[in-house]
């Protein structure tokens, strides 16, 4: 039997359910997975929501990105 070490979040015990650039939906909207991280026993995803028409005052930055737990997402 070979022992393995989990190093800096590498080799998490659970496989990621959603791959990067996968379209997902959640309560309040839908978006695309931009990154993921295994933390606290679950996968957390950075989801970018589509931007609507640019407002007259311009954009303030990444106002269309949100971190969500895996259980909050559904494949779109």
Does residue 10 fall inside a structural domain? no
- How many separate domains does the chain show? 1
Does residue 34 fall inside a structural domain? yes
Could you write out the DSSP letters of every residue in the chain? -------TT-S-SS--SS-TT-EEEETTEEEEEEEEEEETTEEEEEEEPPP-SPPTT---SSTTEEEEEGGG-EE-
User: Radius of gyration of the chain from Cα atoms?
Assistant: 16
Does residue 7 fall inside a structural domain? no
Does residue 3 fall inside a structural domain? no
Pair of tokens at residue 1: 């039997």
Does residue 11 fall inside a structural domain? no
Q: How far apart are CA 51 and CA 31, in angstroms?
A: 10
User: Which tens digit of pLDDT belongs to each residue from 41-76?
Assistant: 889 999 998 877 777 877 666 568 899 999 999 998
Residue bearing the bigger pLDDT, 8 or 60: 60
Domain ranges, residue 36: 23-51+61-75
């Amino acid at each position: 039997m070979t022992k393995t070490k989990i190093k800096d979040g590498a080799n998490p015990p659970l496989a990621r359910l959603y791959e990067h650039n996968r379209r997902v939906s959640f309560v309040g909207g839908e978006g695309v997975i931009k990154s993921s991280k295994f933390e606290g026993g679950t996968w957390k995803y950075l989801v970018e929501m589509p931007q609507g028409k640019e407002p007259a005052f311009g954009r303030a930055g990444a106002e269309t990105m949100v971190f969500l737990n895996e259980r909050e997402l559904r494949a779109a």
